[in-house]
Structure 1
Amino acid sequence: MSRPILSPFAGASWLALAGGVALSLLGPSRSATAAGVVAAYAGFCGTVLAHHRQRRARVAALASTTDGATLVAYASQTGFAEQLALQTATALQGAGMPVQLLSLAEVDAARLAACRQALFVVSTTGEGDAPDSASGFARRLLAGRADGLRELRYGILALGDSSYARFCAFGHALDHWLQRHRAQPLFDLIEVDNGDAGALRHWQNHLSALSGGAEIADWERPRYGDWVLAQRHLLNPGSQGAPAFHLVLEPRDRDALDWQPGDIAEVGPCHAPAEVERLLARLALDGATPVRCDARDLTLAEALATRMPLPDAHFAAMQGVPAQQLVDALSPLPHREYSIASLPQDGTLELLVRQARRDDGRLGLASGWLTGHAAVGAHIALRIRANRSFHPPADDRPLILIGNGTGLAGLRAHLKARAAAARRRNWLLFGERSAQHDAFFADELAAWQADGTLQRVDHAWSRDGGTARYVQDALRAQAALARRWVQEGAAIYVCGSLQGMAGGVNEALTDILGESALRELADEGRYRRDVY
């Protein structure tokens, strides 16, 4: 790739800037006078200058934090990567995590070796080069060796422009260097094409997971479609694991039935009704009060169900505040991501959702909404994000599909598409707890085996007595067959848990195929992952 074409503000009117100030471009009214325009422009310039000073002060403050901190390092040509890094650090700090924010120019091998967790926000300039500020880092480290990185876990947000041949090249070079020195990826590198909002939301979703599920407000104002929860079925009654539900959603607008296998459903959750009632009681407000929220007329209770919780420290200040002012002061709840388990031609969007619980026993925000609080027939706010890195191959090459738990959702969509296209060289390796209770979609998988869509299925049940067996163990047991399929052109798709499964499968594939061969598969688009 190339030069990033984004300035710190261009193309980012949606972006909530650090410090809580959002920039948006508002067209002048017909009655605006020239003097008013000049005054507004002067005010805007003052705001930008003040924001720039505030941002530099926040960067300097975050740079001083070191002990046990997550390193957030940036390489920026125009300032956009630095801005996103600052927002990243601020979000993690707000979730209670110690953070150190540094330019990549300030990072050396010793600092990396002393670090246990790092997030890199890097752009690419020229013909695939590092930004000017990171050229020294590239010369010193990327061309050489670094010892002691086995304990480092990292994630990379790579900014670029796909119109250039070497798209996100510096981010990929950094990723390859870290993996070559045995650092462990927290998740797969995320490419951002010209400030793509969907990719940035995906990054935020990972930040939430890294901070233990903290509710980090979306940087982009949500624009959801209206869907209806048509069906909900418990798939694993009696399981030792948490309940897993098969959800079927119908769109209010049939044009919303537009996605590819591998794409992601982003759900806008709601608080449990009881939590909304508690908030209303504490503030002595009437939930039936009409308010305006997200360009809709709602009751106060309906609006608060979609908003970030009010921090305890702010309750006293909010006593007596009018209902509309309260709603305006609260950010929308963050979205949650789920792999889509169906095809548009099914006429519905299907999800496989595992119920999660917080430390205090309450249901998790999104999983609780989808699996418990929302009644069948309820309206669900949902938007679809293209996940091109997990789209199916364009040809009919064989597929090796590997996953565990709710990761079967993403693999199921691929199998549905393969069945519809009569592409029959498919091999599924799937891990769960118990054959008796956790054999998700067993009848459907059996039917695909019977009609030849699935040539082979290998299960790994970890709680069925004896030594625990996981999907990576099932893969190792079929090492020779896996090598043969790959030699015959197979692509490998992995979907499911980042912790445990994804790393275990990657290690197994490295042992079976060799490190360089696996990297070549990834470069060719034949090794793809959707892990979370």
Structure 2
Amino acid sequence: MQLKVTNSPFTEEQAELFNRLLPTLSPAQIQWLGGYLAFYSAGASSAAGSETSVAIEAVSAVQEAPAAAVIEAPKDATILFGSQTGNSQRLAGKLAEKLKGQGVQVTLSSMNQFKTNNLKKAGHVFVLVSTHGEGDPPDNALTFYEFLHGKRAPRLEETKFSVLSLGDTSYEFFCKTGQDFDKRLEELGAQRIVDRADCDVDFDETASAWIASVAGALSSSAGATAAPASAAASAASVSLDGESEYSRVNPFKAEVLENLNLNGRGSDRETRHLELSLEGSGLTYEPGDCVGIYPQNDPALVERIIEELKWNPEEPVAAGKSGETVSLRNALEHRYEITVLTKPLLEKAVAYSGNEKLAELVKPDNKEQLKAYINGRDLLDLLRDYAPWTIAPKDIADLLRKLPPRLYSIASSYSAHPEEVHLTIRKVQYEAHDRERNGVCSVQASERLEPGDKLSIFIQQNPNFKPPVNPETPVIMIGPGTGVAPFRAFLEEREELGVTGKSWLFYGDRHFVTDFLYQTDWQRMLKDGVLTNLDVAFSRDTKEKVYVQHRMLEKAKELYQWLEEGAHVYVCGDEKHMAHDVHAALLTVIQQQGGKDSEAAAAYLAELQEQGRYQRDVY
């Protein structure tokens, strides 16, 4: 049956589109479309409703079934994300796009913006969350996490759910936050419709499969063709990086324009300032975003691993699950992680080791011994400590995980440096277990990267670390060491825009003479009024070590005044020590200057986080 313009309200172009689409649809798809149109017309005006009825009748005629046979309306879905660097948020957006394309009514929200009294009303809840630090929720998930695990959490017997959890298997509490959400939702009576998926740092395939599973489950519940439960075969249909030609899965090869050491002569540190060309890529970024670099493993370490196993470096091996093959040397240098040991890696390695001690080490009773062993060791250590081995080059694809990208906060404003991106990378090099250890990307940047060389990169947006929408809002920036990188981007952007709002930078490092990163930039910005206040702390220049949190306490009165005036606070750098110390200093300032007890001060700071006025980019 052909839809004709003469007997329908459609234009010739619309009728042509309809006639091209209908013959391609399966009976299940036609039935679903009929249900969707019926649902849509129910909320329209009477005139619009009569017009939609014509479309339903046309669909029904093709289907040779009465209009009354259409199934129930599309479902609703509430998608909640908790994200520190933006990965969970980006994936949540992909899920939302997928479900909207199926006619699902979607509510997409960060956890700290979601009104908890709406939770019980949500028919389907999908949680996407990363695990931060030592098994902690990310900042924008903390309040919702506490609510759900508290006494006020509602019973959710009418709710269906699934969880996508992001983490890193090199950490002890891998994906703990997602696992906690999954367990708690079940405890509250919610029904799991797709099993939780736990993602390692190489999350694209696992996340794609989970998104396809969720979409299939909702399609099935609405009467359309369901995706398979595992959705592994459907994963290819879900693109996680479709916005740009160059992305995480298709990185851009950026030319190195400059590679400078920011530390002065005599410093015991080395910090590289990289300037990369984005010319021809179409890539742009905003202050607060990151660059992901796919680095190269140390060729000398690769050579020692190959020698240890007496392998042929030119033997072809799988470069991943795509079917592509490369030489063994290339695979170990560019495709697989060899500098970090994880529990899953050791558990898989047991099958290739003739040493019974390895099987003993990975037993549940030896959790602490395993944790102590993997700390600071790499693949070469494992090969030497638990020989003999039966592993062959072809087995590395099953044994090793992909070499993950390294993320660095962008240290430049695109407005100030069009078609360029600047990075601040501190060299990581230390001795452990009688061997020198090298940071994969930082030592490559320091020792093996020259102007003219190219790096495989992508831009990762970080919507959770952004300057205020109103450029006149005061900003307080706290960034010791390389944590100062995004604040160079913030201030360059303000300089380009001619912003006159107040800005205050707290910066710290070891020595004023050799370690004051970007000193001339800050001095220029102070002189020009782009930077209002600058407080510095150089911990090794005084008898007693002084850090940024001490400078904050010294300026407590003025700092609190800025907070009361609506200032936004930004913290970037080490999560384990600095971020905790800065958080404690902020609480002290609020208590002392605001006349609040510890509980009220914590509530004040939590409210700043809820409002997006206290943002952290910590690692």
Say which of 408, 422, 426 aligns to 1:354: 426
Alpha-carbon displacement from aligned partner over 1:399-436 (angstroms, at most 9, x marks no partner): 11111010000111111111111123111111111110
Residues 159-183 of structure 1, C-alpha deviation per residue, up to 9 Å, x if partnerless? 9xxxxxxx88632536999xxxxxx
Q: Deviations for 1:78-124, whole angstroms, at most 9, x for unmatched residues?
A: 9x99xxxxxxxxxxxxxxxxxxxxxxxxxxxxxxxxxxxxxxxxx99
Query: Are the counterparts in 2 of residues 303 and 327 from structure 1 also a CA contact under 8 Å?
Result: no
**Distance change in 2, residues 1:282/1:468 (3 Å):** closer
**2:272 matched residue in structure 1:** 245
| Structure 1 residue 255: Cα displacement | 1.1
Letter in 2 for 1:355: K
Stretch deviating more after TM superposition (519-528 or 327-336): 327-336
**Is 1:155 matched up with 2:136?**
yes
Q: Contact (CA 8 Å) 2:276, 2:422: kept in 1 or not?
A: yes
Aligned to 1:236: 263
Please list the CA deviations of residues 475-532 of structure 1 after superposition, one character each: whole Å capped at 9, or x if unmatched: 1111111122222221111111223321221111112124132222111111111111
- Alignment-derived partner of residue 442 in structure 1: 519
> Could you say which structure has the higher helix fraction?
2
**How far, CA to CA, are the matches of 2:173 and 2:538 in structure 1?**
26
For residues 61-94 of structure 1, the C-alpha deviation after alignment (integer angstroms, 9 at most, x for no partner) is: xxxxxxxxxxxxxxxx99x99xxxxxxxxxxxxx
Whether 1:474 and 2:500 are equivalent positions in the alignment is: no
Residue 333 of structure 1 aligns to a residue in which SS? coil
3-state SS, counterpart of residue 528 of structure 1: strand
Corresponding letter in the other structure for 1:517: Y
Secondary structure of residue in 1 paired with 2:276 = strand
Q: Cα offset for 1:472?
A: 0.8
Residue of structure 1 equivalent to 2:390: 317
Contact 2:293 2:458 in 1 (8 A): yes
Structure 2 residue corresponding to 1:207, chosen from 171, 174, 177 = 171
Structure whose CA Rg is larger: 2
The structure 2 residue matched to 1:335, chosen from 374, 388, 405, is 405
**Residue aligning to 2:330:** 302
> What pairs up with 1:19-418 in 2 under 5 angstroms?
127-128=118-119, 155-156=136-137, 170-171=144-145, 173=147, 200=166, 203-204=167-168, 207=171, 218-220=202-204, 223-225=249-251, 226-238=253-265, 240-251=267-278, 253-256=280-283, 258-288=284-314, 293=319, 298-306=326-334, 307-309=336-338, 312=383, 316-319=389-392, 321=393, 326=396, 330-345=400-415, 346=417, 347-358=419-430, 359=432, 360-396=435-471, 397-418=473-494
User: Given the superposition, is the C-alpha separation of residues 272 and 414 from structure 1 closer, same or farther in structure 2, using an over 3 Å criterion?
Assistant: same
Relative to 1, partners in 2 of residues 1:174 and 1:453: Cα closer, same or farther, differing over 3 Å? farther
Q: Is the 8 A contact 2:292 2:460 kept in 1?
A: yes
| Rounded Cα–Cα distance in structure 2 between residues aligned with 1:496 and 1:417 | 20
Alpha-carbon distance change, 240 to 206 in structure 1, aligned in 2, over 3 angstroms: farther
Supply the distance in 2 between the matched residues of 1:204 and 1:268 (Cα, whole angstroms): 17
Q: Answer yes or no: is the 8 Å Cα contact 1:402–1:429 preserved in 2.
A: yes
Q: Indicate the residue corresponding to 1:42 in structure 2.
A: none
Measured at CA, do residues 154 and 278 of structure 1 come closer, stay the same or move farther in structure 2, by a change above 3 Å?
closer
C-alpha separation in 2, matches of 1:274 and 1:244: 22
Q: Whole-Å Cα distance in 2 between the matches of residues 375 and 357 of structure 1? A: 19
Asked if the contact 1:339/1:410 (under 8 Å) is kept, the reply is yes
Give distance in 1, aligned partners of 2:149 and 2:551: 28
**Which position in structure 2 is the counterpart of 1:497?**
574
For 1:495, what is the secondary structure of its paired residue?
strand
- Cα 1:268/1:373, change in 2 over 3 Å: same
Question: Is the 8 Å Cα contact of residues 404 and 431 (structure 1) preserved in structure 2?
Answer: yes
Q: Is the 8 A contact 2:279 2:420 kept in 1?
A: no
* Structure 1 residues 272-321: Cα deviation after superposition (integer angstroms, max 9, x where no partner): 111222233344444445666366675442222121336525873234x5
Q: Are 1:519 and 2:606 counterparts? A: yes
In 1: Cα distance, 2:549 partner to 2:150 partner? 23
CA displacement, residues 321-361 of structure 1 (integer Å, 9 cap, x when unaligned): 56xx6557643112322111112341222111111124232
- How far did residue 207 of structure 1 move? 3.4
Asked whether the 8 Å contact 2:134–2:172 carries over to 1, the reply is: no
Decide whether the 8 Å contact of 1:124 with 1:131 is kept in 2.
no
Residues 240 and 433, structure 1, Cα contact 8 Å, conserved in 2: no
The 1:343/1:174 distance shift into structure 2, 3 A limit, reads farther
Q: Is the 8 A contact 2:135 2:174 kept in 1?
A: no
Tell me, which stretches of 5 or more residues in structure 1 are unaligned? 1-76, 82-122, 133-151, 160-166, 178-193
Identity of aligned residues (%): 28
Paired AA for residue 118 in structure 2: E
Aligned length: 361
- Give the 3-state SS of the residue equivalent to 1:246 in structure 2: strand
Relative to the length of structure 1, the TM-score reads: 0.59
Offset, 1:206: 8.7
CA contact (8 A) 1:125 1:131 kept: no
Shift in alpha-carbon separation, 1:411–1:442, aligned structure 2, 3 A:
same
SS state of the match for residue 389, structure 1? coil
Is the Cα contact below 8 Å between 1:405 and 1:431 reproduced in 2?
Answer: yes
The separation in 2 between residues aligned to 1:209 and 1:356, in whole angstroms, is 24
How far apart are the structure 1 equivalents of 2:440 and 2:539?
A: 28
| Amino acid of the structure 2 residue aligned with 1:395 | N
For 2:388 and 2:201, locate their aligned partners in 1 and report how far apart those are by CA, in whole Å: 19
Under a length normalisation based on structure 2, what TM-score does the superposition of the two structures give? Answer: 0.52
Cα deviation digits, residues 416-462 of structure 1 (max 9, x gap) = 11111112311111111111011111111111111110011111111
Structure 2 stretches lacking a partner, 5+ long: 1-76, 82-113, 124-132, 152-161, 176-199, 206-247, 339-378, 592-600
Indicate whether 1:461 and 2:538 are aligned: yes
Q: Which moved more, 1:433-442 or 1:276-285?
A: 276-285
Match of 1:189 in 2: none
Letter in 1 for 2:260: H
Residue in 2 aligned with 1:29? none
Question: SS state of the match for residue 514, structure 2?
Answer: coil
